[in-house]
Amino acid sequence: MAIKTTVITGATSGIGKETALSLARQGHSLYLLVRNMQKGDELKTYLINETGNKEVHVIKCDLADLQTVRDAAVELSGKLFAINTLINNAGGIFAERELSKDGFELTFTINHLGHFLLTNMLMPLLQKGQARIINVSSEAHKRGTPQFDDLQCERSYNSWKVYGMNKLFNIYFTQSLASKFANKGVLAFSLHPGVVNTHFWDDFKGLGKLMTTLIRPFMISAQQGAATTVFLATAPRLDKYNGGYFKKKKIAKTSAIATDTAARDKLWAISEKLSL
């Protein structure tokens, strides 16, 4: 069996780390795109020691700094002939409004715009690899609406509403990729990993922190949270589900607004203008 070349963001902790571990065990050649190179190197050592798979590589990529995303894409293009799987796993929710290095609202940049730029820059390699693109979304998308008139949240900021909007954007992005590149052999999927007990929740304060403390005993493990991503990266014959949204390794329904093709197309046009 040919070695699969897989690129993954946000792999140094949580479900990203468990996804990388599972795929390393299955013999994938992994390219870990990380913000913190020390943590990336530590993860590389851990994966090699745990699995015996030495095809683990670390590349600097901070989704909050679009120039590092461009640099990572250029580096990958210089190293690889093709990519078989791209897992846009990194994400975050922030209690207060923050800006990225490029001056964009941070939730939007990390959850959507950085991955939009990365995926489009890697598209030649993805086409050569007849790749699957896997975007980690969330059931939180069902609380999201596209506020194109205040995309940077300058008028108001609510962390959960902004997060929900950007998880909705993950689904729009997936559907656009499926529509634009299916005839080039590229498939795209989005997914809900579950409510996972990771450091994702650490930024919350006050009432938000109290709520996460109360529900934490009912959260699933990072290993369980990675299961659907791993499934989408490895399961055969998923072509008929191209553009689909998955939960618990099965196709699932999105919110009604997630099927809005006009909003989907508008997001793509805005994202191109801001990043490409």
Q: Does 181 score more than 60 pLDDT?
A: yes
Task: Give the CA distances from residue 219 to residues 171, 208, 213, in Å, rounded to whole numbers and listed in that order.
Answer: 23, 15, 10
Q: Which of 231, 123, 127 is nearest to 184 (CA)?
A: 127
Question: What is the per-residue pLDDT for 199?
Answer: 55
How confident is the model over 100-149, as pLDDT tens digits? 999 999 999 999 999 999 999 999 999 999 999 999 999 999 999 999 99
CA separation for the pair 240, 231 (Å, rounded): 15
Amino acid code (one letter) for 186: V
Q: Does 164 score more than 90 pLDDT?
A: yes
Question: What is the per-residue pLDDT for 201?
Answer: 46
Question: What is the per-residue pLDDT for 195?
Answer: 83
CA separation for the pair 181, 259 (Å, rounded): 18
> Over pLDDT 90: what percentage of the chain?
88
Question: Which residues belong to the active site?
Answer: 157
Amino acid code (one letter) for 31: Y
| First-residue to last-residue Cα distance in the chain | 36
Which tokens in the block code for residue 50? Answer: 């745990």
Binned at pLDDT 50, 70 and 90, residue 220 comes out as confident
What is the pLDDT of the chain when averaged over all its residues?
93
Any idea which of 160-164, 193-197, 244-248 has the lowest mean pLDDT?
A: 193-197
Hey, which bits of the chain come out as E strands?
Answer: 5-9, 29-34, 56-60, 85-88, 132-136, 187-192, 245-247, 250-251
Binned at pLDDT 50, 70 and 90, residue 198 comes out as low
Q: Decide if 47 contacts 21 (C-beta within 8 A).
A: yes
Give the alpha-carbon dihedral of 100, 127, 57, 231, to 10 degrees.
90
Higher-pLDDT residue of 216, 88: 88
Binned at pLDDT 50, 70 and 90, residue 203 comes out as low
Average confidence (pLDDT) over 49-75: 98
Q: Decide if 12 contacts 19 (C-beta within 8 A).
A: no
Q: Decide if 255 contacts 168 (C-beta within 8 A).
A: yes
Q: Which of 207, 229, 258, 64 is nearest to 135 (CA)?
A: 229
Q: Does 218 score more than 60 pLDDT?
A: no
Average confidence (pLDDT) over 247-272: 98
CA separation for the pair 23, 4 (Å, rounded): 9
* Global pTM value: 0.94
**Please, is 260 exposed, middle or buried when counting C-beta atoms within 10 Å of its C-beta (0-12, 13-18, 19+)?**
middle
Q: Does 37 score more than 90 pLDDT?
A: yes
DSSP state of 8: E
Q: Does 81 score more than 60 pLDDT?
A: yes
Binned at pLDDT 50, 70 and 90, residue 210 comes out as very low
